[in-house]
Amino acid sequence: MRKVAKVRRLTLAIGKTMPRPLLANWRRQAAFTLMELMVVLGLIAILSAAIIPEMRGSFEDAVLRASARQIVDVFSVANSRAVALSQTHRVRFERTSGKYLVESQAGRASRGAEFAPVRDLSGGTGNLDQRVRFEIRARGASPLDEDPMTLETPQSPESISFYADGTADAAEVWLSDRAGVGLTLRLNPVTARVQVIDRPRP
Note whether 115 and 103 are within 8 A (CB). yes
CA atoms within 13 A on the CB side of 65: 8
User: How far is the C-alpha of 157 from the C-alpha of 107, rounded, in Å?
Assistant: 21
pLDDT at residue 16 above 60?
A: no
Burial 29-56 (b: 16+ CB within 10 A, else e): eeeeeeeeeeeeeeeeeeeeeeeeeeee
Which amino acid is it at 168?
Answer: A
The rounded percent of the chain whose pLDDT value lies above 90 is 33
| Confidence tier at 152 by pLDDT (50, 70, 90) | very low
- The DSSP output letter for 175 is E
Does residue 189 register a pLDDT over 90?
Answer: yes
pLDDT mean across residues, the chain: 76
> Residues 109-118, buried b or exposed e (16+ Cβ, 10 A)?
eeeeeebeeb
CA 192, 78, 93, 174: dihedral to nearest 10 degrees?
A: -30
Confidence of residue 150 (pLDDT cuts 50, 70, 90): very low
pTM more than 0.75: no
